[in-house]
Amino acid sequence: MTGFIIRRLLLGLVTLWITSLIIFAATQALPGDAARSILGRSATPESLAALRQQLGLDKSVFTQYWEWISGVLTGDMGASLVNSLPVTEVLSDRLVYSLFLMLLAAAISVPLGIYLGAASARRRDSAFDQTTSVATLGLAALPEFVVGITLVVVFATNVFTWLPGVAVTEPGVGPWHYPKQLILPVAVLVIAVVPYTARIMRASTVEILESDFVEMARLKGLPEQRVLWRHAVPNALAPTFQVTALNLAYLAGGIVVVEAVFNYPGVGLLLVDSVRSRDMPVVQAIALLIAALYVVLNLLADVATILVSPRLRTSLE
C-alpha cells in the first residue's frame, strides 16, 4: 500500500511537471506582456524596457522557465507584479479561505450524494426516485453562476433577505468566523457536485442490488436496511469515489465562479483579479496549485477505492 502511494505520488510529480510546462507556455502565448499591462497604454518604450529588465522578461524563454520552476521547487514562487509581495504570502490567506469552502462543500455533498443515490436505487422507479432523478438532472444542467445568482436573488436580495449576498471579511480572520456568509457559496458548490455523485451512486447501487450476493443476503433473511447499507453500498462506492474525486477537482475551477459571484476572498477571486492585471507569477502559481489539487484528489480517490475493495486491498498486501 505504501509502495503504491509512493509510486502514485512520483507519477503525480511527473504530471505536475508536464502541467508546469503547459502553464508556462500558455502564459508566454498570451498577447501583451506584464510590463505593458502594469504601465498601461501611455508607457514610454524606455520605461517599458526598464521594467522588462527588472522583471526578467528580456531573458530567453528557457531561462525564464528555469528561474520560475527552480523557484517553485524551493518554495519561492516569485513576487506579485501588482504589489511586489511574495506570491506565497499573497496566496496563503486566500488558500485557507478556498480550502475551507471546498472542504465544507465536500463534507456535505459527498455523504448527501451517496445517500440520495443509494436511497433512490432502493426505491427504484418510485416517486422519490423520479423526483430525485429530474431534480439532479436539472441541477446538473445549470452552470454555477446561474445557480449562484438565483440563490442570491432568492435568499439575499429580491425575495428574502435572510443571508448576506456578498462576503465581507477582514484580512487575517478565518472564514469560519462568518458562518452566515458561507451558506450560499457552499450551497452553490454542493449543488454543483451532488447531482453527479447521486446519479453515479444510484446507477452503481441499482446494478449491485441486482447482483447475486444481494439476492443471497435477502434470502438469508437479513433486514432490508442491512442489505442496502452493509451489502450493496460498500460495493457501489468504488465507482462513486472516482466520479466524486473528478467532481471535487472540478470544484477547484468552479470555485473561481463562485468566489467571483459572492466576492469571496479565496484563490478563485485572486485568480480572476490576477488575470485581469496580468500578474503572471500569481496566475502561474494558482494554475499549478489547482493541478496539484487534481493529482491529490485522484490519488485520494484511488486509495479510497482500494480501501473499499478487499480484492484490490489484499492484492497489494
Partner 1 sequence: MSTQAPSLEVVDLRVEVDYGAREDIVDEITLHVAAGDVLGLVGESGSGKTTVGLAVLGHTRRGARIVRGEVRIEGRDILPLPPLERQRLRGRLVSYVPQDPASALNPALRINTQLEETLAAHGFGTSTERRARIVEMLEEVLLPTDDIFLKRYPHQLSGGQQQRVALAMAFANRPRVIVLDEPTTGLDVTTQAHVLETVRDLCSAHGVAAVYVSHDLSVVATLARQVAVMYGGRIVELGPTHALFTHAAHPYTRRLVEAIPEISGKHALIGIPGTAPRPGHRPVGCFFAPRCSFAQAECHVSFPPVENVAAGHDVRCFMHATVLAESIAARPAARPRAELGIEDALVAVRNVQASHGARQVLFDIDLVVRPSECVALVGESGSGKTTLARCIGGLHGGFEGEIFFRGQPLPCGSGARDADTRRNIQYVFQSPYNSLNPRKTIGQIIAQPLGVFFSASGADARRRAVEALERVQLSPTVLERYPQQLSGGERQRAAIARALVAQPQLLVCDEVTSALDVSVQAAIIDVLAELQRELHIGLLFVTHNLALIRTISQEVAVMSEGRIVERGLVDDVLESPQADYTKKLLSDTPSLEAAIAASS
310 binds partner 1 (CB under 8 A): yes
> How many residues line the site for partner 1 (CB under 8 A)?
24
**Pattern of binders to partner 1 over 155-194, x per CB under 8 A?**
----------------------------------------
Segment interacting with partner 1 (CB under 8 A) among 25-33, 92-100, 158-166, 307-315: 307-315
123 binds partner 1 (CB under 8 A): no
Scanning the structure block, which residue is given the C-alpha cell 457552499?
Answer: 186
Cβ proximity to partner 1, 121 vs 194, nearer residue: 121
Q: If binding is defined by CB under 8 A, does position 215 make contact with partner 1?
A: yes
Q: How many CB atoms lie within 10 A of CB 286?
A: 27
> Smaller CB distance to partner 1: residue 36 or 124?
124
Q: Residue 86: what are its φ and ψ, rounded to 5°?
A: -60, 140
Of 206, 205, 214, 191, nearest to 237 (Cα)? 205
Distance CA 76, CA 85 (A): 12
| Comparison of 111 and 310: residue with beta carbon closer to partner 1 | 310
CA distance 175 to 183: 11
Nearer to partner 1, 201 or 280 (CB): 201
CA angle 286, 292, 295 (to 5 degrees): 150
| Nearest CA-CA partner of 88 in 76, 74, 73 | 76
Q: To which residue does cell 470555485 refer?
A: 255
- Choose between 56 and 310: whose C-beta lies nearer to partner 1: 310
Among 8, 3, 17, residue whose Cα is nearest residue 288: 17
Among 92-100, 152-160, 209-217, 251-259, the segment contacting partner 1 (CB under 8 A): 209-217
Residue 142 engages partner 1 in binding (rule: CB under 8 A): no
How far apart (Å, rounded) are the C-alpha atoms in residues 95 and 105? 15
Stretch that binds partner 1, among 159-167, 206-214, 277-285, 288-296 (CB under 8 A): 206-214
Nearest-Å Rg of the Cα atoms of the chain is: 24
Residue 122 grid coordinates: 432502493
Stretch that binds partner 1, among 6-14, 58-66, 103-111, 304-312 (CB under 8 A): 304-312
User: 8 or 218, CB closer to partner 1?
Assistant: 218
- Complex with partner 1: residue 23 or 236, whichever CB lies closer: 236
User: What is the tally of helices (H) and strands (E) in the chain?
Assistant: 14, 0
- Which residues ranging from 216 to 245 are in contact with partner 1 (CB under 8 A)? 216-224, 226, 230-231, 234-235
Region for residue 278 given its phi and psi (left: phi exceeds 0; alpha: psi -120 to 50; beta: otherwise): left
Contact with partner 1 (CB under 8 A) among 63, 211, 276, 316:
211
C-alpha neighbours within 13 Å on the C-beta side of residue 271: 21
Binding residues for partner 1 (CB under 8 A) = 210-213, 215-224, 226, 230-231, 234-235, 308-311, 314
